[in-house]
């Protein structure tokens, strides 16, 4: 049983398209994180949020605590956005992260 589920697993988009990646979780959380992982393994934290919405450039992250759901949106997608996007949650109990399996995004020029 995965505490964090992401969809879709794979996503291919044309440059310029609006992209949405979804994350659902089953535990009570103190925060939800969206991470970006490029080929080669390096992980970059994009957002940490516990309510509402955050925006950074073309990236927008939203969370609905009652529904235990979060979305990551990319506006005007670009080939350099191609990466694996991982959702992770910090549960209320304990300090370990629970990670989703990631969404592999490919943006075609």
Partner 1 sequence: DTGVSQDPRHKITKRGQNVTFRCDPISEHNRLYWYRQTLGQGPEFLTYFQNEAQLEKSRLLSDRFSAERPKGSFSTLEIQRTEQGDSAMYLCASSFTYGEQFFGPGTRLTVL
Asked if 70 contacts 44 with a C-beta cutoff of 8 angstroms, the reply is no
Asked if 93 contacts 28 with a C-beta cutoff of 8 angstroms, the reply is yes
**Which of 57, 94 has the CB closer to partner 1?**
94
- How far apart are alpha carbons 89 and 86 in whole angstroms? 10
Asked if 26 contacts 3 with a C-beta cutoff of 8 angstroms, the reply is yes
**Which of 17, 104 has the CB closer to partner 1?**
104
The region of 13-21, 37-45, 60-68, 72-80 touching partner 1 under the rule CB under 8 A is 37-45
The CB-of-89 to partner 1 minimum distance in angstroms stands at 11
Q: 81 is written with which tokens?
A: 């956005």
Asked if 18 contacts 71 with a C-beta cutoff of 8 angstroms, the reply is no
Helix, strand, or coil (residue 79)? helix
Asked if 20 contacts 71 with a C-beta cutoff of 8 angstroms, the reply is yes
One of 13, 27, 48, 60 touching partner 1 (CB under 8 A): 48
Q: With binding defined as CB under 8 A, does residue 42 bind partner 1?
A: yes
The CB-of-2 to partner 1 minimum distance in angstroms stands at 9
17 to 36: interface string for partner 1, x by CB under 8 A: -------------xx-x-x-
Q: Which residues bind partner 1 (CB under 8 A)?
A: 4, 30-31, 33, 35, 40-45, 48, 86, 88, 90, 94-102
């Amino acid at each position: 049983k995965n505490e964090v589920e992401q969809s879709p697993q794979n996503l291919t988009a044309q440059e310029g398209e609006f992209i949405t990646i979804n994350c659902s979780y089953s535990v009570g959380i103190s925060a939800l994180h969206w991470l970006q992982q490029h080929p080669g393994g390096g992980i970059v934290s994009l957002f940490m949020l516990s309510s509402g919405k955050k925006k950074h450039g073309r990236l927008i992250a939203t969370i609905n605590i009652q529904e235990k759901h979060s979305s990551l949106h990319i506006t005007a997608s670009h080939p350099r956005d191609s990466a694996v996007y991982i959702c992770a949650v910090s549960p209320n109990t304990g300090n370990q992260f629970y990670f989703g399996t990631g969404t592999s995004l490919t943006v075609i020029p």
